[in-house]
Amino acid sequence: MDKTENKVKIVTRFAPSPTGYMHVGGVRTALYAWLFTRKHNGKMILRIEDTDKEREVPGSITHIIEALRWAGIDWDEGPDIGGPNAPYLQSERLDSYKKYAQVLVEKGLAYADPYSEEELESFRKQAEDDKRPFLYRNHRPENPPIWDGSMPLRLKIVNPQKSKWHDLARGDLEAGPEALDDFILIKSDGYPTYNFAHIIDDLEMEVTHIFRADEFISSTPKFLALYEALEIQRPEFVTLPPIMGPDGKKKLGKRDGAKDLLDYRIEGYLPEAIVNFLALIGWHPGGNDEIFSMQELKDLFTIDKIHKSGGNFNDVKLNWMNREHMLKLSHEEYKKNLETFMPEHLSTLDTYASRIDSVCAIVRDRLEYFKQIQEMYDEGGLEYFFVAPLYDADILMCSEKMRKGKDLTRESLAKILATCKLELEKLPKETGEFIEGGEVKWNKESVKNALWPIAELEGRGIVLWGIRVALSGKEKSPDPFILAETIGKDETLARIQRAETFLKEKLVLS
């Protein structure tokens, strides 16, 4: 296989129809074609199959292009960049289809369909009532009218028999003669059907490998008949297994929550992660590795490793994988991504600039996708990184478990906090700079060293919980030391002071 691939120039195409969004299944098809093409220094074409004017959604083409580019997939010819085989919109290639249709008419292999939709419908119904499959060729008109373009044009299947073919991913396939019928080449509106158009385009564009979804297996006999009628050589088929919905029951569709690819960008997923994940549904290079870069995928990709059976789209694992890719980012890259998801009311604060780096580091282990930053740590989000929190007495007082049997009143907690504050005041204020003549500076280590003796004395649960909540106001948050380091000495002391006062006031009130 690989030998011939290297001799003949590989030409692949991705040919979506502009129906509004970029299905992840489609992205995978494009991805496999892309990996294969780029690995073999081939040529990839983007072609838009816009022959159904009814379904076309305006803006789709730009959307598709944007989505594919985001995923890191590029092409050598396409509607946006042109190329020697232009145009790349099927709606602009009508002359080609007409030309080949005429060839078939002249060969006596295509004929006009004179029936009305109602008549066709009744044939179908009759077949259904008789419990046999409907075949148009059983109703083929004796003397079809001359095709003037106002009626559909059908291919005449002269000798319906069993079809056999080879698929590079699936192996040998076959279908009975029932799968073959006189199908429509050109619709009455003058546009070709998919079945016809893609074959003409692939021929004219000299496509060598067709990467396609599983559902096209059933119509392959039709394509084969057309190649034969046209007396042309067919490209290789590479049929991919289906991607199922999370329940594993049905093909992944819009209703099962199949997202548009760009939704993942909105959620703050990394394109490399999506690509990695998608690549591994239906293909695996062997071995135990799972995290691959685009480059690695390209190097490893081979058609014979494509699976036959379908796979589920499991977004729990996608999240894990996305985190793995996020972890590979440098601090600067991570920060850049994260900042696009920072709520504006925080990013405009004057505490923001000095603390965002630290927040980045803190959040790094915790996020599976960047938008999660917005839902982090309870409802309050991450305000407490930038502004002093409000307190809840119950949370501040910590749980029984943390107290470990020790009595704790608001007054005694306030005292403990005061003691901590006293110790922390002794620390120099500077962060990140070496302090001459003293080991301590204001970083999480020194804060820890200052607090630890008190914690040992009064109970770790009480002291560390108390400080942490004094700094964050939250039941759940990063540890107090890193929080203290992040907000700096002045604010740490101020927040402890506030918590202390809060406790005392509460005490007086109650």
- Find the binding residues for RNA in span 260-299 (CB under 7 A): 280-284, 286-288, 290
Instruction: Compare residues 361 and 387 and give the one whose CB is closer to RNA.
Output: 361
Among 13, 209, 325, 468, binds RNA (CB under 7 A): 468
Rounded Cα distance between 414 and 466, Å, is 9
Pick between residue 399 and residue 510 the one whose CB is nearest to RNA. Answer: 399
Could you tell me which residues are beta bridge partners of residue 243? 311
Q: What angle do CA 337, 14, 312 make, to 5 degrees?
A: 65
Site for RNA in 7-46 (CB under 7 A): 15-17
Nearer to RNA, 20 or 435 (CB): 20
**Beta-carbon count within 10 A of 459 CB:** 20
CA distances for 438 relative to 17, 428, 435, 442, angstroms = 69, 9, 6, 11
Q: Which is nearer to RNA, 55 or 406 (CB)?
A: 55
152 contacts RNA (rule: CB under 7 A): yes
Distinct helix (H) and strand (E) counts, the chain: 20, 11
Residue 242 near RNA by CB under 7 A: yes
SS (H, E, C) 271-324: HHHHHHHHHCCCECCCCCCCCCCHHHHHHHCCHHHECCCCEECCHHHHHHHHHH
Cβ distance to RNA smaller for residue 435 or 440: 440
Q: Is the peptide bond before 241 cis (omega within 30 degrees of 0)?
A: no
Asked whether the beta carbons of 411 and 503 are under 8 A apart, the reply is: yes
Is 131 a residue that touches RNA (CB under 7 A)? yes
Residue among 129 and 344 whose Cβ is closer to RNA: 129
Q: Does 464 bind RNA (CB under 7 A)?
A: yes
Strand partners, 89: 48
Number of residues located near RNA, criterion CB under 7 A:
83
Considering the complex, what minimum distance in angstroms separates the CB of residue 334 from RNA? 14
200-229: contacts with RNA (CB under 7 A): 214-219
Q: Is residue 450 part of the contact set for RNA (CB under 7 A)? A: no
Contact yes or no for 353/343 (Cβ under 8 A): no
Residues of this chain, 332-391, that bind RNA according to CB under 7 A = 365-366
Piece of 6-14, 383-391, 409-417, 463-471 that binds RNA (CB under 7 A): 463-471
Q: Name which position in 70, 83, 98, 124 contacts RNA (CB under 7 A).
A: 124
Give the containing element (helix H, strand E) for 413. Answer: helix 410-425
Least distance CB 355 / RNA (angstroms): 17
